[in-house]
Amino acid sequence: MNILAIDDNVLALEELISSIKEVCPDDEVHSFSKPSELLDYAKENICDIAFLDIEMWGMNGIELAQKLKEIHGKINIVFVTGYTKYAMDSYTVKASDYVMKPVTKEAVKESLDNLRFPVKTETDKRIRVQT
């Protein structure tokens, strides 16, 4: 899987990345602190999942999710925030999940186990070919 993560708070981003890597040690995780950098990456690469902070400078996570959906229609969006007030807004972009900070590996695992658009891994593809 190719996983994106963004937070404009460096410590929160490090915590998020650490939790994702604990759950997905073999997957690619790309971290960003600016929405424009994440969008530039997404335009050039296949992306399966995006963990997005909501309150950021310049562009909030809801707006960023909308732009990501324009690029990758079936990208899984997981909002990561310390605020419950955005929960209803997350439905407008058909988010897979809404995780409260501080992020834990258990929360990340649960999100990945319940994605809106399941992601086929290389192992899944090999098993299908063999049967």
Tell me what percent of the chain is helix, strand and coil, each rounded to the nearest 5.
Answer: 50, 20, 35
d(CA 112, CA 48): 11
pLDDT band at 121 (very low <50, low <70, confident <90, very high): low
**Per-residue pLDDT at 89 exceeds 90:** no
- What does CATH list as the number for 2-130? 3.40.50.2300
Question: Domain locations in the chain?
Answer: 2-130
Kindly report the pTM of this predicted structure: 0.90
**Tokens 């909030």 identify what position?**
60
What pLDDT, in 10s, does the model give residues 25-62?
999 999 999 999 999 999 999 999 999 999 999 899 99
d(CA 35, CA 58): 8
What is residue 107's predicted lDDT score, i.e. its pLDDT? 97
**Per-residue pLDDT at 130 exceeds 60:** no
Residues in the chain: 131
- Return all residues near 130 (Cβ < 8 A) that are at least 6 apart: none
